[in-house]
Structure 1
Amino acid sequence: MSSLRAKIQDVFNEPACEQNRGKDAKARKKGCSKPLTPGAAAGGCAFDGAKIVLQPITDVAHLIHAPLACEGNSWDNRGAASSGPTLWRTSFTTDLTELDVVMGQGERKLFKAIREIKEAYWPPAIFVYPTCVTALIGDDIEAVCKRAAEKFGLPVVPVNAPGFVGSKNLGNKLAGEALLDHVIGTVEPDDAGPYDINILGEFNLSGEFWLVKPLLDRLGIRVRACIPGDARYLDIASAHRARAAMMVCSTALINLARKMEQRWDIPFFEGSFYGITDTSEALRQISQLLVKKGADPEILGRTEALIADEEAIAWTKLAAYRPRLEGKRVLLNTGGVKSWSVVHALMEIGIEIVGTSVKKSTVEDKERIKHILKDDNHMFEQMAARELYAMLSEQKADIMLSGGRTQFIALKAKTPWLDINQERQHPYAGYDGMVELVRQIDRAIHNPIWCQVREPAPWDCQPAVREELPRTKSETATLHAVQEFASTMADDFGEF
Structure 2
Amino acid sequence: MSSLRAKMQDVFNEPACEQNRGKDAKARKEGCSKPLTPGAAAGGCAFDGAKIVLQPITDVAHLVHAPLACEGNSWDNRGAASSGPTLWRTSFTTDLTELDVVMGQGERKLFKAIREIKEAYGPPAIFVYPTCVAALIGDDIEAVCKRAAEKFGLPVVPVNAPGFVGSKNLGNKLAGEALLEHVIGTVEPDDAGPYDINILGEFNLSGEFWLVKPLLDRLGIRVRACIPGDARYFDIACAHRARAAMMVCSTALINLARKMEQRWDIPFFEGSFYGITDTSEALRQISKLLVKKGADPEILDRTEALIAEEEAIAWKKLAAYRPRLEGKRVLLNTGGVKSWSVGHALMEIGIEIVGTSVKKSTVEDKERIKQILKDENHMFEQMAPRELYTMLSEHKADIMLSGGRTQFIALKAKTPWLDINQERQHPYAGYDGMVELVRQIDLAIHNPIWRQVREPAPWDCRPAMKDELPSTKSETATVQAFKKFAGTTADDFGEC
Would you say same fold, with TM above 0.5?
yes
Deviation at 1:268, TM superposition (A): 0.1
Q: Decide whether aligned partners of structure 1 residues 119 and 488 sit closer, same or farther in structure 2, where only a CA change above 3 A counts.
A: closer
Structure whose CA Rg is larger: 1
Question: 2:203, 2:228 within 8 Å by CA — same for their partners in 1?
Answer: yes
After TM superposition, the structure 1 stretch with the greater mean CA deviation from structure 2, 353-362 or 104-113, is 353-362
Q: Decide whether aligned partners of structure 1 residues 308 and 67 sit closer, same or farther in structure 2, where only a CA change above 3 A counts.
A: same
SS at match of 1:256: helix
After TM superposition, the structure 1 stretch with the greater mean CA deviation from structure 2, 261-270 or 486-495, is 486-495
Residue in 2 that maps onto 1:474: 474
Question: 2:469, 2:487 within 8 Å by CA — same for their partners in 1?
Answer: no
1:57-91 superposed Cα distances (whole Å, 9 cap, x missing partner): 00000000000000010001000000000000000
SS at match of 2:476: helix
Residue in 2 that maps onto 1:203: 203
Deviation at 1:26, TM superposition (A): 1.0
After TM superposition, the structure 1 stretch with the greater mean CA deviation from structure 2, 90-99 or 17-26, is 17-26
Structure 1 unmatched ranges of 5 or more:
none
Question: 1:36, 1:166 within 8 Å by CA — same for their partners in 2?
Answer: no
Q: Decide whether aligned partners of structure 1 residues 39 and 144 sit closer, same or farther in structure 2, where only a CA change above 3 A counts.
A: farther
Deviation at 1:467, TM superposition (A): 6.3
SS at match of 2:73: helix
Q: Decide whether aligned partners of structure 1 residues 472 and 297 sit closer, same or farther in structure 2, where only a CA change above 3 A counts.
A: same
Which aligned pairs between 1:321-340 and structure 2 lie closer than 5 A?
Answer: 321-340=321-340
Q: Decide whether aligned partners of structure 1 residues 286 and 458 sit closer, same or farther in structure 2, where only a CA change above 3 A counts.
A: same
Residue in 2 that maps onto 1:297: 297
Question: 2:471, 2:480 within 8 Å by CA — same for their partners in 1?
Answer: no
In structure 1, how many angstroms separate the alpha carbons of the residues matched to 2:233 and 2:76?
19
Q: Decide whether aligned partners of structure 1 residues 349 and 478 sit closer, same or farther in structure 2, where only a CA change above 3 A counts.
A: closer
Deviation at 1:36, TM superposition (A): 3.4
Which aligned pairs between 1:175-324 and structure 2 lie closer than 5 A?
Answer: 175-324=175-324
Question: 2:463, 2:494 within 8 Å by CA — same for their partners in 1?
Answer: no
1:15-52 superposed Cα distances (whole Å, 9 cap, x missing partner): 00111111111111111111335787601000000000
Query: What percent of counterpart residues are identical?
Result: 93
Question: TM-score, normalising length from structure 1?
Answer: 0.94
1:437-465 superposed Cα distances (whole Å, 9 cap, x missing partner): 00000000000111111111111112134
In structure 2, how many angstroms separate the alpha carbons of the residues matched to 1:419 and 1:376?
24
Question: TM-score, normalising length from structure 2?
Answer: 0.94
In structure 2, how many angstroms separate the alpha carbons of the residues matched to 1:430 and 1:166?
34
After TM superposition, the structure 1 stretch with the greater mean CA deviation from structure 2, 114-123 or 383-392, is 383-392
What is the total number of aligned residue pairs between the two structures?
Answer: 496
Question: 1:131, 1:163 within 8 Å by CA — same for their partners in 2?
Answer: yes
In structure 1, how many angstroms separate the alpha carbons of the residues matched to 2:178 and 2:332?
33
SS at match of 2:14: coil
1:91-144 superposed Cα distances (whole Å, 9 cap, x missing partner): 000000000000000000000000000000000000000000000000000000
In structure 1, how many angstroms separate the alpha carbons of the residues matched to 2:345 and 2:311?
13
Q: Decide whether aligned partners of structure 1 residues 61 and 478 sit closer, same or farther in structure 2, where only a CA change above 3 A counts.
A: closer
Residue in 1 that maps onto 2:146: 146
SS at match of 2:227: strand
Deviation at 1:466, TM superposition (A): 2.8
Question: 1:41, 1:167 within 8 Å by CA — same for their partners in 2?
Answer: no
In structure 2, how many angstroms separate the alpha carbons of the residues matched to 1:423 and 1:350?
26
Question: 2:461, 2:495 within 8 Å by CA — same for their partners in 1?
Answer: no
Q: Decide whether aligned partners of structure 1 residues 495 and 53 sit closer, same or farther in structure 2, where only a CA change above 3 A counts.
A: closer
1:415-447 superposed Cα distances (whole Å, 9 cap, x missing partner): 100000000000000000000000000000000
Deviation at 1:343, TM superposition (A): 0.5
Q: Decide whether aligned partners of structure 1 residues 234 and 448 sit closer, same or farther in structure 2, where only a CA change above 3 A counts.
A: same
In structure 1, how many angstroms separate the alpha carbons of the residues matched to 2:431 and 2:387?
34
Question: 1:62, 1:128 within 8 Å by CA — same for their partners in 2?
Answer: yes
In structure 2, how many angstroms separate the alpha carbons of the residues matched to 1:321 and 1:34?
41
Question: 2:340, 2:365 within 8 Å by CA — same for their partners in 1?
Answer: yes
